[in-house]
Structure 1
Amino acid sequence: MKIALDPTPFHHTHGLLEFPRVVADLGYKYMQLTPHADFIPFYNHPKADDELVGQLKKASKDAGIEIASVLPVLRWSGPDEDAREAAVRYWKRAIQITVDLGVGQINTEFSGRPERAEESERAFYRSLEELLPIIEREGLHVAIDPHPDDFVEQGLAALRVIRGVNSPNIGMVYVASHTFHMQDDPSAIMQAAGDRLRVVHVSDTMNHHASHGLRYITNPPGNAARVHQHLKLGDGDVNWDEFFGGLSENGFLGRDDSVMVSSVFAEDDTAREVSRYQLNTIKEYVSSVQ
């Protein structure tokens, strides 16, 4: 298993080519690349040209770290057809960038709309009809997160959609911060996913269902807002013994191709200390269940 750092907390203080050195200085051997204005921004065409991709690859090598995964977020399940078609074009470039970086793992979101779930699911499969041959030809694996406010948010329901693609190159991301939106038992999701579970994100969150749904109050009452956090491990309500125990039973912790990502976004002021804490605490939990 590869333990990687998501450098999002450093996006506002460091340039893209500085991330590998930051990751290495914090003790990590792997990095996950998330949406960035100079790389693959949210929902828009990738902005990295071949020269920048080459520079990033060299910077990673010079820092002694590897890029474990690339995370584009594009509207490939969008019910708007023009947006979906554009997303497929952007995906093709994102795939090429990933290949040129020498990375074999992509993780992403469904990026559809919950209020138009049926149309979004149709759009998802339509996009895969065009993209899957490229993904399989390049030998990539794409893992998908059922993100809050997507057309599929429950863990087991997401697995059914993924299974419907009928390809070993498409799998699942389990984001611990989305635990209370996925609704299903975490161990049941991990068991059902099997080796389709290729990426997990480690960050804590509060259980928004607590106090009979009144822990968080949004107005007007009954609106469709989704609430979650990306806190450091131990600051929320995720059952970490269950989480790491489930990963151990799944076999995730012992696979060479699995990626565990520290993805804390709520602690920018102490990002360095929190990143080191995350790495040490993750290692302690992994040791305790092996």
Structure 2
Amino acid sequence: MKTSFEREGIKLDIQAHPYDFCERNNESVDIIRGLDRDWINYLYAAPHTFFYDDGLGDIASMLRYIVNPPGVTATVHQHLDIGQGEVNREAFFSTLRDIKFDGIATVAVFAWEERADESSRFMLERVKSELLR
């Protein structure tokens, strides 16, 4: 795939993800650093903040639970609007600005289907106002 990605100019963003190949933030960053390709970057998913570091939620150090549905043995996920839940969004945004982060940072909301459009508009405007300064 390397040859095809480079030939076609395809960018690859890799994310640590609960219960996938690599679950923890630092280990995923180490993999990307080891690959040492300018077209491979890290995708930080804010809702997974507490999973990435075993419940600490220390966003600033990682950028170098409230339980899910019954029966799911998952650590905290907070797919909520910015300002709700325990994810420290101020630390999230200020750290991204400080390190001049130019990758992908997700803020996906899975709650409240009845207000999905309103939530999406709110989140887009908030992310733009925080990161496009």
TM-score by length of 1: 0.40
Alignment correspondent of 1:226:
74
Maintained 8 Å contact 2:15/2:45:
yes
SS of alignment partner, residue 143 of structure 1: strand
1:144 equivalenced with 2:14 (yes/no): yes
Maintained 8 Å contact 2:44/2:106:
no
Alignment correspondent of 1:17:
none
Alignment correspondent of 2:88:
239
After superposition, the C-alpha distances for 1:200-239 in whole angstroms (9 at most, x for unaligned) are xxxxxxxx1xxxxxx549988xxx8224241111221110
Alignment correspondent of 1:269:
114
Q: 1:268, 1:217 → 2: CA distance? A: 16
Unaligned runs of at least 5 residues, structure 1: 1-130, 192-207, 209-214
After superposition, the C-alpha distances for 1:56-115 in whole angstroms (9 at most, x for unaligned) are xxxxxxxxxxxxxxxxxxxxxxxxxxxxxxxxxxxxxxxxxxxxxxxxxxxxxxxxxxxx
Q: Which one has a larger percent strand, Structure 1 or Structure 2?
A: 1
Q: Which one has a larger percent helix, Structure 1 or Structure 2?
A: 1
Q: 1:271, 1:217 → 2: CA distance? A: 19
Letter in 2 for 1:267: W
Maintained 8 Å contact 1:155/1:189:
yes
TM-score by length of 2: 0.80
Letter in 2 for 1:150: D
Q: 1:154, 1:233 → 2: CA distance? A: 22
Letter in 2 for 1:153: E
| Pairwise CA RMSD | 2.6
Alignment correspondent of 2:28:
158
Alignment length (residue pairs):
129
